[in-house]
Amino acid sequence: MGYAAGWGFCNHGLRQVFAEEDLLPISALQHFAFCERRAALILLEGAWEENFFTADGKIFHERSEGYQTEMRGDLRIVRGLPMRSLRLGLMGKADVVEFQRAPREKTTLKNASDRVVDECGSWLPFPIEYKRGRLRHEEGYEVQLCAQALCLEEMLEVTIPRGAVYYGQTKRRLDIVFDQSLRQRTERIALQLHQMIFDKRVPVARYEKKCTGCSLFTLCLPKTTGSPKSARTYLLGIVNNGGN
């Protein structure tokens, strides 16, 4: 991947405006938060391996794909909404964004900053990310959702205070507040991700408990490629066993 002219380093680190061709997928933040090497293998080496969880997750997501809108009372529901942030260098699609309508007359100067105002009223955006499995806290999911909120904020010029992760197995939503700490974490991960891609750096594998659930396990080989020592042991094992 080559970064376009106009993007690069300055005295304060990476310049915070990206060209459209340099935008990275929002979903990569989730992989990066889980494991930096995983994000690098996917983005730099084009690795992707389905396991039960990724296949199940994909089917689950496909149900919510495609750009569609629907009105339910004072709720406008938009599915598959494309979004991007040139400041963070991210692009993607929100599974669902709900826009809750408040009558125009109820929009005051105090709450106007979190509303999108049009001729039908003022609308409070609320992004929702769909995930398989049971209700739980996952840093990567929360960062991914917060990145969606930051993209929407940049595009709609509003402040989005909260969103939710919806868990398919338990059919429950976990409300997420986009506080300063989560916003800063999300921005830091976006920056680190761009830095890694810019450097074309694939971090060395480190075998941990989480590796057993990683769909890239057989491509990554964390037990054998993790350190020169383990790679040497692995190779010597093959040589000494005559390939058996």
Residue 80 belongs to what H/E stretch? strand 75-85
Q: What does the per-residue mask of binding to ligand SF4 show for 39-58, with x meaning CB under 6 A? A: --x-----------------
The binder of ligand SF4 chosen from 18, 22, 25, 37 (CB under 6 A): 37
Residue 35 or 81 with smaller CB distance to ligand SF4: 35
Report the candidate in 147, 139, 140, 137 with the shortest Cα–Cα distance to residue 175: 137
The SS3 call for residue 111 is coil
Choose the binding region for ligand SF4 from 93-101, 113-121, 128-136, 211-219 (rule: CB under 6 A): 211-219
Is residue 214 at the binding interface for ligand SF4, with CB under 6 A as the rule?
Answer: yes
Is residue 38 at the binding interface for ligand SF4, with CB under 6 A as the rule?
Answer: yes
Residue 97 or 211 with smaller CB distance to ligand SF4: 211
27-34 helix and 180-199 helix, angle to the nearest 10 degrees: 90
Is residue 234 at the binding interface for ligand SF4, with CB under 6 A as the rule?
Answer: no
End-to-end CA distance of the chain: 39
Instruction: Give min distance, CB of 131 to ligand SF4, in A.
Output: 18
Is residue 222 at the binding interface for ligand SF4, with CB under 6 A as the rule?
Answer: yes
Q: Tokens 């491509």 appear where?
A: 219
Residue 23 or 35 with smaller CB distance to ligand SF4: 35
Instruction: Give min distance, CB of 152 to ligand SF4, in A.
Output: 30
Question: Residue 200 and residue 183: Cα distance in Å, rounded?
Answer: 26
Residue 45 or 118 with smaller CB distance to ligand SF4: 45
The SS3 call for residue 71 is strand
Is residue 217 at the binding interface for ligand SF4, with CB under 6 A as the rule?
Answer: yes
Burial 138-170 (b: 16+ CB within 10 A, else e): bebbbbbbbbbbbbbbbebebebeebbbbbbee
Report the candidate in 33, 37, 214 with the shortest Cα–Cα distance to residue 141: 33
Question: Cα angle vertex 23, ends 132, 159, to 5°?
Answer: 70
| Residue count, binding to ligand SF4 (CB under 6 A) | 13
How would you classify residue 16: left for phi > 0, otherwise alpha for psi between -120 and 50, otherwise beta? alpha
Instruction: Give min distance, CB of 206 to ligand SF4, in A.
Output: 6
Residue 41 or 158 with smaller CB distance to ligand SF4: 41
The binder of ligand SF4 chosen from 35, 88, 160, 189 (CB under 6 A): 35
Q: Residues in the site for ligand SF4, rule: CB under 6 A?
A: 35, 37-38, 41, 205-206, 210-211, 214, 216-217, 220, 222
